[in-house]
């Protein structure tokens, strides 16, 4: 089993709760073939973010494991560091650094840590992403000086910069107003198709799941 996709195998996650344990993710198995998008769809509290946190390496599973491109990333009690997983995440609240300019946010992963590269290469990659996400002219602005939709495009550009093997999205459009959400949904669907990056997309919005995903995993009460 050394294909390039993501394999989630029998993953369970329990949290301590008053009077005992609550099961947030209950024996979930699913795979995403390389290049495809899986949407995880379900109501608030059904365990979507818990599952995503395990794939991202923020949490470890109580049972099961996560394998990406044949490499085991998580098992009970063990998780490869989040920054060594070859994946990036786009959150619901954009998590942009308020004091940085757009160009530095997008290039952040190429200026620090494992993917650090020359300034020349970084500038070239940032220019590519600015073009891809239609952020031209905004490079020197700070997050507070651009719109919510633009902020979310910056967050996507930042996630793409290091060319990760897997992209993770946790309800990335939920904070946008209805019209903007519809526009971004279409834009993101086209982008994911064009890039051919493997993606795991968490949402409670059925329209979003159907527009974006090759496959939809419906979750309810952790199952």
Task: List residues binding ligand ADP (CB under 6 A).
Answer: 15, 22, 24, 42, 44-50
Q: What is the DSSP letter of 55?
A: H
Give the residue with the Cβ less far from Mg ion, 37 or 49. Answer: 49
Judged by beta carbon distances under 5 to 8 A according to partner kind, the member of ligand ADP, Mg ion, none in contact with residue 45 is ligand ADP
Q: Binding marks (x or -) toward Mg ion, 23..62, rule CB under 5 A?
A: --------------------------x-------------
Q: Which residue(s) pair with 216 in the sheet?
A: 39
Least distance in Å: CB of 52 to Mg ion? 8
Least distance in Å: CB of 77 to ligand ADP? 17
DSSP calls for 86-101:
SEEEE-SS----TTS-
How many other CB atoms sit within 10 Å of the CB of residue 190?
A: 12
Phi-psi region at 137: left, alpha or beta (left = phi > 0; alpha = psi -120 to 50): left
Least distance in Å: CB of 181 to ligand ADP? 18
- The binding site for Mg ion (CB under 5 A) comprises 49
């Amino acid at each position: 089993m050394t294909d390039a996709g993501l394999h989630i195998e029998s993953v369970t996650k329990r949290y301590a709760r008053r009077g005992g344990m609550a099961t947030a993710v209950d024996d979930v198995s699913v795979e995403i073939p390389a290049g495809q998008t899986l949407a995880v769809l379900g109501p608030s509290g059904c365990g979507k973010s818990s599952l995503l946190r395990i794939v991202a390496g923020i949490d470890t599973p109580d049972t099961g494991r996560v394998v990406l491109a044949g490499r085991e990333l998580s098992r009970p009690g063990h998780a490869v560091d989040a920054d060594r997983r070859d994946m990036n995440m786009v959150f619901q609240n954009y998590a942009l650094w308020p004091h940085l300019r757009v160009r530095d946010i997008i290039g952040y992963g190429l200026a620090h840590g494992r993917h650090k590269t020359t300034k020349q290469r970084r500038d070239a990659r940032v220019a590519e992403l600015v073009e891809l996400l239609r952020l031209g002219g905004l490079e020197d602005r700070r997050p507070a000086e651009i719109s919510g939709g633009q902020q979310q495009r910056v967050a996507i550009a930042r996630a793409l910069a290091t060319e990760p093997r897997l992209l993770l999205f946790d309800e990335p459009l939920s904070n946008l107003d209805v019209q903007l959400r519809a526009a971004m949904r279409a834009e993101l669907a086209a982008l994911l198709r064009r890039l051919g990056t493997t993606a795991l997309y968490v949402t409670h919005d059925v329209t979003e799941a159907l527009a974006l995903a090759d496959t939809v995993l419906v979750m309810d009460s952790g199952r």
